[in-house]
Every structure is written in structure tokens, then in C-alpha cells.
Amino acid sequence: MNVACIGAGYVGSVTAAALAVLGHAVTIIDIDEMKLDNIRNGKSPIYEPGLEELIRKTAGQTLSVDTQYESVGGADVVFICVGTPSKADMSADLTFVKAAAARIGKHLNPERYTLIVMKSTVPVGTTDMVTSILEEVSGLQAGLQFETVSNPEFLREGYAVEDVFYPDRIVVGSESVKAEAVMKALYLSMLTRDVYESLRELLPPVPEGRPEPVWLRTTPTSAELIKYASNAFLAVKISYINEMARLCDRLGSDITEVAAGMGLDSRIGNKFLQVSSGWSGSCFPKDTAELLATARKYDCDLQIVTAAVRANHEMHIYCVKKVQSKLKSLQGKRIGVLGLTFKPNTDDARKSQAEVIIRELCELGSHVKAHDPHGAAMFRSLNPDLPVEYCDEPERLADKADALILLTHWDCYLTLDWANLIRKMRTPYVLDTRNALHRDEMLSFGYDYEGLGI
């Protein structure tokens, strides 16, 4: 099929590259020339493991780029993959969605059927709104020359290539049999995996126990809510296990043992029971905020989600208080922060836990040094007001440090020469917010080591 993908960000670039590898003719449309130049040259516009290999394989062949929307006129399917940031009131800003819809409408071909797919995470009712914009701008009638569907993405940053080829489910929000048939034809290779053997050098291995995806057709509004409800549920689960970790700190229990025991219950499962300094990033904070904004609009009080958001912020501050308690005062203390992205294997530092924690440390008088192997540039650009000393090498954070805080469990931090790093520190205190380091080993090196809930 001929596919146009509006947006070269985390969702658009992965979706487009995957479809191009599967043989579809895909054009990525974006106004960011730097991103497009990277793609033209076979490079990924973002840091995402495995993505550059897909782009290198397809660039200039089944994958092309453009700043203009002319390719929409020849497309069978058009994906909208633009950003939906939060506004001041924490509701989703649909400016980019509306602009993309209007430009798509100007280029729809009345002589052919085009399916417009809402891939961005958007509030309930947005797909219908896009339909209205398309009708108004194009003068065409929905259901005849074009149709719209909701097809939310469920990609994990750092594992997006795995997730796009081996999804748990494919959700299509549409009441049209024809639109569903087009989507099934587009995703046929992902549903059957019939061509994956020939692409095994490019694709990640099939995750253990991952069956072929479930196809779920719903109404557009249900599909839109599925995305928000899923992310909010995961946020609640993380907030819950983090609260249990805080209780374990008081009781002297071990949260890793507690989480393992909980996860053996098939009704609970072992995923998202890993302790952290709190959930963060470009999705969970934004999506929980929009879900709450939608609920308020319809006079519905989502008390559990509200509590999860509050508990999550308290977890960020709890980590700072642990350091403060250990050092007695943070005034003038030198603190090294390992990790600025919200998780490993991504350069995405938007709304990361590091922003809240570092800001609190600075306000309490600390001198903060920080490192991240891929996300430092983005973090710095997003937080120009933070008086942080950024280091190119993680070892530099230990120089005369009073504390090191492991926020993001990048592999490069787990393999540091911790035995010798202690000699550089003024106070050998390490707070491991991911319980990722080996406690007994760290203690044997002489560190005053603390995890969360252990």
C-alpha cells in the first residue's frame, strides 16, 4: 500500500520504518528538516535501539520523506502521528492534530478512497473531530471518499521496534467494515508474521511467550479511551509498588521479595512491579493528566488515578528526603545524578523524574552534577534554568561527591568500576532508586548503600 505518515517523532518514525520494511511505500511528512535529513541519510531521528537499522534498509527505497503533503493525494492510508502536549490546564493540546487534519484535507484525492488513521494519543472524541475537519476542508463526505479510524499506539520507548513487530493487540476504532478491512490488509504481516523469517537479520527476536496479536475492533471513542485507561492503570500499579517499598523501608521487609511473591499471582502478574523513584516521561504524566481532565469535563471523580498522581510526586520527593536524612543537610553538598531520561535505551528526557528530583536538590542548596549517555542534551535544552554541571563521563560525578543517586538504570552505570569509584567520593553514599546494583557487593566495597524498600 501507499502510506503517508505525518510526524517523524517517536511514534511516526517507528511506525513508518516498520511498514516500509514490510514492503509498503511510506512517506514521512514533517517540518523538521534535520529529522528528515537524518532519515534520507539512513539515520534515525531519535535514539531507539534497532530503528536505525530499519531506516538504513529502507531509506530511498520504500521509505521517503517530505515537508509537503502532496503524497497524501496518492496514499491509501494516512497516519497522524503528531505530538499532543499538555496545556496549562493539563488537558491535551490538539493544535498539531488540527493542523495536520486541515492540511490532509486540502490534499485528499476525490478520485480514490483514503483511510486516515489517528495514531497519536488523543482525548475521547478527537477522531470524530478530525472527521469534521476533513469534511469541511476537503468538501468530501466521510464514508465515501475517505474514512477515519482510531488506532492507538502501544509502543514502549526503548523497546518500540520489538513492540511494533510483536504487539500484544492491535486496536482499531471504527464502525466501518471497509475501514477495518483496509487496516487488516495493512497489518497482515504483523498479524501472521509470515514474512518475518526473511527479515530475521533486521527484526528483534520474538519475545518469549508472546503469541500472535489479538485484533480488537471497537468504536473510535472506546479505542481512544483504551489507550488512556491502559497507561493510567500501569501508573497506578507503579505507584502502588512504590508505596509498598516505602512501607518496607519502615518495616524492614524486602520489596524485591514482596514484589516477587505478588507477581506469582496470575491475577497480578510480575510486570510493572519494579521499584523506582516514580513514573515519569512523555506518556504517563501527560496521559493521566488528560484522563483526569476528561473526567472533570464529564463531572466524574477518578479518585484512584488522582491518588496515583499524588503518590508518584511524593515518591520523587521521598528520594530527596532519603538523601537529606543521610547527609543531615543538603546545603553545599555535592550530589551526582546518574541518568536523566525517564528510562534506559531512549534519549527522551521529557517530564523525567530527574527534573523534579534535581530541582528539589538545587532548591535545598545542593551542587548537582549529572550524566546520561543519550539524554543529557535534551534534558539540558528542556531545563535551561537548572544550575546543573553536566559531565561527559559518569566517573566525574564521583569527584568529591557527598552522594551518588542512580535514577536511570543504564547498563553503563551497572558496569562502572564501583570498587575504585569510592576513592573519589567525599562521602561514599549511594542511593539506588532502581535496586539495580548488587547490595552485598556495594557494601563490600565500603559504600553506605541504600536502595528503595530493601
Contact 140, 134 (CB under 8 A): yes
- Which amino acid, 316? H
Q: Are strands 403-406 and 334-338 parallel, antiparallel or unpaired?
A: parallel
Domain with 345, as residue range(s), is 283-450
| Integer angstrom CA distances of residue 244 from 198, 247, 454 | 46, 5, 11
Asked whether residue 248 is domain-assigned, the answer is no
Contact 43, 63 (CB under 8 A): no
Q: Which of 173, 193, 218 is the endpoint of a domain?
A: 218
CATH number at residue 346: 3.40.50.720
Grid cell listed for 204: 528483534
**Are residues 434 and 301 both part of a single domain?**
yes
SS3 of the chain: CEEEEECCCHHHHHHHHHHHHCCCEEEEECCCHHHHHHHHCCCCCCCCCCHHHHHHHHECCCEEEECCCHHHHHCCEEEECCCCCECCCCCECCHHHHHHHHHHHHHCCCCCCEEEEECCCCCCCHHHHHHHHHHHHHCCCECCCEEEEECCCCCCCCCHHHHHHCCCEEEEECCCHHHHHHHHHHCHHHHHCCCHHHHCCCCCCCCCCCCCCEEEEECHHHHHHHHHHHHHHHHHHHHHHHHHHHHHHHHCCCHHHHHHHHHCCCCCCCCCCCCCCCCCCCCHHHHHHHHHHHHHHCCCCCHHHHHHHHHHHHHHHHHHHHHHHHHCCCCCCEEEEECCCCCCCCCCCCCCHHHHHHHHHHHCCCEEEEECCCCHHHHHHHCCCCCEEECCCHHHHHCCCCEEEECCCCHHHHCCCHHHHHHHCCCCEEEECCCCCCHHHHHHHCCEEECCCC
**Are residues 17 and 120 both part of a single domain?**
yes
Backbone dihedral angles phi then psi of residue 145, each to the nearest 5 degrees:
-80, -20
User: pLDDT tens for residues 36-54?
Assistant: 999 999 999 999 999 999 9
- Which amino acid, 175? E
272 is in an annotated binding site: yes
Whole-number pLDDT of residue 90:
82
Asked whether residue 259 is domain-assigned, the answer is no
**Are residues 317 and 399 both part of a single domain?**
yes
What is the set of active-site residues?
Answer: 283
275 is in an annotated binding site: yes
Residue that has been written with the C-alpha cell 520474538 in this structure: 206
Contact 428, 422 (CB under 8 A): yes
Asked whether residue 272 is domain-assigned, the answer is no
**Are residues 31 and 168 both part of a single domain?**
yes
Query: In Å, how far from its chain's centre is CA 5?
Result: 19
Contact 453, 248 (CB under 8 A): yes
Q: Which of 165, 191, 218 is the endpoint of a domain?
A: 218
Asked whether residue 264 is domain-assigned, the answer is no
pTM above 0.85, yes or no: yes
Instruction: Write the CB contacts of 264 (distance below 8 Å, at least 6 apart in sequence).
Output: 270
Alpha carbons 115 and 151: distance in angstroms, whole number = 12
**Are residues 296 and 158 both part of a single domain?**
no
Rounded to whole angstroms, the maximal C-alpha distance in the chain is 74
121 is in an annotated binding site: yes
227 is in an annotated binding site: yes
**Are residues 158 and 58 both part of a single domain?**
yes
Whole-number pLDDT of residue 108:
98
Whole-number pLDDT of residue 243:
98
**Are residues 76 and 161 both part of a single domain?**
yes
N residues, the chain: 454
Alpha carbons 291 and 305: distance in angstroms, whole number = 9
Alpha carbons 263 and 253: distance in angstroms, whole number = 17
Asked whether residue 223 is domain-assigned, the answer is no
**Are residues 166 and 291 both part of a single domain?**
no
Domain count of the fold of the chain: 2
Whole-number pLDDT of residue 88:
85
114 is in an annotated binding site: no
191 is in an annotated binding site: no
- pLDDT over 70 for what percent of the chain? 100
Residues of the chain with pLDDT under 70: none
User: pLDDT tens for residues 195-247?
Assistant: 888 888 899 888 888 889 999 999 999 999 999 999 999 999 999 999 999 99
**Are residues 208 and 344 both part of a single domain?**
no
Contact 342, 348 (CB under 8 A): yes
Whole-number pLDDT of residue 89:
84
In sign, the C-alpha dihedral spanning 25, 31, 35, 37 is: positive
Asked whether residue 365 is domain-assigned, the answer is yes
